[in-house]
Amino acid sequence: MLTLRRRSGLTIIELLVTVIVLGIVGGGIVRMLTSQARFYEHQGAGRSARSVSRAAVNVLLSEMRMVDGSQGVIAATPTSVTLRVPYTLGVYCGFGTIALLPTDSAMLAEPGFTGYAWRGRLGPYNYVEAGAALTAPVPGQCVASGLNPVPGSVRIGVVPPLPVGVDLGTVVMLTRRTTYFFAGSAAIPGRVALWRRIEATGAREELAAPFDVTSRFRFYRLNDNVAQDAVPALNEIRGFELVLTGASESTPRLTGGYQRSALTTSVFFRNRL
């Protein structure tokens, strides 16, 4: 007599239940991974936006702090400022010869000299720009004048020379006219960048990008401790408030816009009278 054995296996209902359970678990895993990916994308975009503002601040503050508080600002708007930026100091040895103090070699080598400034014991700086140029120094002039600059200091000559009667040892600053401005980015088309331009040569450098269009300069007038949007008389500007709103290069998914990071800081001129 033939005996039939029942084979063990899964029924259709069991298969359907298994597929449904796997679908639910898989969907949960996908949603978790998607959520994590969005989180890291947002974090990365936020870091990118913050780094834009910080990079710009480092450059701006290092130069703006050296500007003369009464004659250092040449032109100003909410999106552009032109400054007389000192890039090295020296002492006057006579006959147009100056012994420079040790300075950053890259800063000294950058072209764009537009003039020099000197100040006596009292009073404001005297700026010499019309016809100003760098020339060769008079050999041995500093030693002959009783001045012994630090070893390795660079000697230069300037024309026109300082007026007759200026004290030996008077401090002299070499300056460049430098403009900082917000304009369209070359590195990231369609976005806003902060630029630095050397006026004597026209050479310009894109410092950081991208920025939000709300980024701008605000102005401290005389002894006011609150910055204003309106541009005061140039000789009354004592510092800037930098409103730097960095933006991410890409748009994180499901956000509808770029990530932004606002950074506001102030800089006051050191050479204030």
Between 154 and 248, the higher pLDDT residue: 154
pLDDT at 61: 82
pLDDT value at position 112?
Answer: 92
Q: Higher pLDDT residue, 10 or 237?
A: 237
Judge if 149 and 225 occupy the same domain. Answer: no
3-class secondary-structure state, position 54: helix
The average confidence (pLDDT) of the chain is 83
Q: Do residues 100 and 235 share a domain?
A: no
Is residue 230 pLDDT above 50, yes or no? yes
Mean pLDDT on 246-262: 71
160 is a domain residue = yes
User: Distances in Å between the alpha carbon of 223 and those of 219, 236, 253?
Assistant: 11, 9, 47
Instruction: Give a yes or no: residue 24 inside a domain.
Output: no
Looking at the fold, whether 208 and 145 belong to one and the same domain comes out as no
Structure tokens at 209: 């990008």
* pLDDT: which is higher, 49 or 71: 71
Mean pLDDT throughout 209-228?
A: 91
- Establish if 136 belongs to a structural domain: yes
pLDDT mean over 92-109: 86
- Average of per-residue pLDDT across 58-84: 89
- Is residue 33 situated within a structural domain? no
pLDDT of 60 higher than 60: yes
For residues 186-214, give the mean pLDDT: 90
The CA distance from 227 to 223, in Å, is 10
pLDDT value of residue 273: 46
pLDDT, tens digit, 9 for 90 and up, residues 157-192: 999 999 998 999 999 999 999 999 999 999 888 889
The fraction of the chain above a pLDDT of 70, given in percent, is 83
Residues 107 and 149 reside in one and the same domain: yes
Q: Domain for residue 185, yes or no?
A: no
Strand 126-128 with 113-118, pairing: antiparallel
One domain for residues 171 and 89: yes
Residues 228 and 162 in one domain: no
| Domains held by the chain: number | 2
149 occurs within a structural domain: yes
For residues 227 and 242, give the distance between their C-alpha atoms in angstroms, rounded to a whole number. Answer: 10
What is the pTM for the complete model shown? 0.77
End-to-end Cα separation, the chain, in angstroms: 120
Q: Is 195 inside a domain boundary?
A: no
Same domain, 129 and 210: no
Dist. CA 220–CA 138, nearest whole Å: 43
Q: Are residues 58 and 124 in the same domain?
A: no
- Which of 58, 84, 185 lies closest to 194, judged by CA? 185
**Which of residues 5 and 195 earns the better pLDDT score?**
195
Same domain (yes/no): 124, 160: yes
Is pLDDT above 60 for 237? Answer: yes
Whether 87 and 152 share a structural domain: yes
Per the omega criterion (within 30 degrees of 0), is the bond before 111 cis?
no
Indicate whether 23 pLDDT > 50: yes
Task: Enter the DSSP assignment of 227.
Answer: -
Per-residue pLDDT for 233 more than 90? yes
pLDDT at 15: 76
Q: What is the pLDDT of residues 105-133, one digit of tens each?
A: 777 888 899 999 998 777 788 999 999 99
Which two tokens mark 146?
Answer: 């009783």
In contact, 118 and 125? CB cutoff 8 Å: yes
The parent domain of residue 222 ranges over 44-77+204-268
Q: Are residues 91 and 134 in the same domain?
A: yes
Identify whether residues 52 and 122 lie together within a single domain.
Answer: no
The answer to whether the CB of 244 falls within 8 A of the CB of 53 is: yes
Does residue 234 lie in a domain region?
A: yes
